[in-house]
Each structure stands twice: as C-alpha cells, then as structure tokens.
Structure 1
Amino acid sequence: MADFNLDNRDPNDINQHIQVAFEDVLAEPEGIRSMNCVWKFTYKCFTLWKQLCYNIATLCCGLCIAMNWGCIFAETAFYHIWYITPYLKWLEINCTPFKKLFRMCLSCCLDPICESVGTVFHACKK
C-alpha cells in the first residue's frame, strides 16, 4: 500500500469546487447582523452537524462506494489494456497500406495541379 498524506486528502485539488466551510455557506452582510452569541452558536452548530452527518454517511456508505469505484476503474483499466489499446494498434497496422495508397493517389492527382498553379503565380510579377 502506498504511503499517503492523512492531512492533505486532496493533493491534486480535484474537489476545489466543493466549498462547504461555514464562511462559504453562511454570511451576514453589513447592515444586518444577528447577535454575536447567535452567530457563534450558529457556527458551532453548523460545523458540528456538517462533520457529524458527513462522518455517518462515510461510515455507512464510504467503503461500499470506494469498492464500487475501485471495480469500475479496474474494469476501465482492463478494457484499455486488453481491448482498446491492442485494437488501436491493430487498426494502425491494417490502415497503414491504405494510408500509403491514399497519399500516392493524392500525390499523383494534386502534385501536377499544385505545380502548375505555382508556376502561373510565380510568373506573375508586379
């Protein structure tokens, strides 16, 4: 098992869009304020219940969801390693002759036209 940081659980910042701190959710503008004791208790209540509900949800569901996502990503890796990448290689190998034939046909048809047009414009001078 790889070592990981228990303090920084989002080292790649993939969940920066989720802002659920008290200051990100509740705010009182200038001119309208609750009493300080209410605001402090609101902060403590919000923080406690947010953390408690999150802990209960992760305790009840987190392991099952992690196992599900592990299986999904294992399946994705399996398909890429054993099906998609070899299939793309097979297509690359089998399409190479058609690619060469297409280039030859374009070269035979378009090179004389492009050279003629180039000669015409080369002859035009100010």
Structure 2
Amino acid sequence: MAGDLDLTNRDPNSLNSHVKVSFEDVLGEPEGAHSIDCVWKLSYTCFTCWLGLCYKLSTLLCGICIAAEWGCEFAEVAFYHVWFITPMLKMCEMNCAVCTKLMRTCLSCCVEPCCESCGAVFHYFKK
C-alpha cells in the first residue's frame, strides 16, 4: 500500500484546497504604504519559513498519533457496518417481507372481494 503512495501530490482529491495559504494571501501593502524592500523580502522569508517549520513540527509531534486515531475511528465504523448495521438491515428486510406478504393476503381476502363486487355493479351501467 505504501508503494502506491504519491509523495508529490498529497491531496489528489483536493480535500484541503481551502487551506492553501501563501504570503500574498495574508499580507499585502497598498500603493503609497510600502515598507523598505529588504523588510518586505525578509517578511516573506520569515513567513514562509515559519509556516513550513511550524507545520512540519506539528505533524512530526502529532500527525502520526492523529492518523492512528483516525485509522481506529474508520476501522470502528467499518466494524459496525460489517458486524451490526448490515445484518440488522437484512433482518429488517426479512421481517418486512413477512409483513408485506401478510398485508397482501389480508387485502386479497377482505378488500378485493368488495372491490370486485362494486366493479361488477358498475359494469352494467352503460351510456
């Protein structure tokens, strides 16, 4: 499974495209309010460096544990579906089939003769 892992495109389904942040998305100086060029360049360098460093440090310290927790959560959901929810739905489907058969029998015994009689009476009315 790890052999199929794409280390270049780590969000192939664009799950987190809303989190893309760049320096220009956060800071911008309007015309007439420019800082010294070296301050602007150093601000860019600091921003991108600290963004990358803090993200990498956070993932190093917490990412593996959080991934393990999400793996357990999805395993639990799969377990419930396989061993509880699907069998319960099958049992419900089987019980509903019995109720459907019982309802059809009752309707064919009680309601169908009345409907046929009414139909026979109105059959003789002609224009």
TM-score, normalised by the number of residues in structure 1: 0.74
Q: What is the deviation of 1:22?
A: 1.5
* Partner SS state of residue 72, structure 1: helix
Unmatched tracts of structure 1, length 5 or more: 117-126
Matched, 1:22 2:51: no
Q: What is the deviation of 1:21?
A: 1.8
Distance in 1 separating the partners of 2:12 and 2:73: 22
> Identity of counterpart residues, as a percentage?
58
Distance in 2 separating the partners of 1:41 and 1:102: 79
Q: What is the deviation of 1:25?
A: 1.9
The answer for the alignment partner of 2:34 in structure 1 is 33
The answer for the alignment partner of 1:56 in structure 2 is 57
Q: What does 1:1-126 align with in structure 2 at a 5 Å threshold? A: 1-2=1-2, 3-101=4-102, 105=107, 108=111
* Partner SS state of residue 17, structure 1: helix
Single out whichever of 81-90 and 15-24 deviates more from structure 2: 15-24
Distance in 2 separating the partners of 1:100 and 1:79: 30
Q: What is the deviation of 1:69?
A: 0.8
Distance in 2 separating the partners of 1:9 and 1:103: 56
4+ residue stretches of structure 1 with deviation over 2 A?
27-36, 97-105
Query: C-alpha root-mean-square deviation of aligned residues, in Å?
Result: 2.3
Distance in 2 separating the partners of 1:100 and 1:24: 64
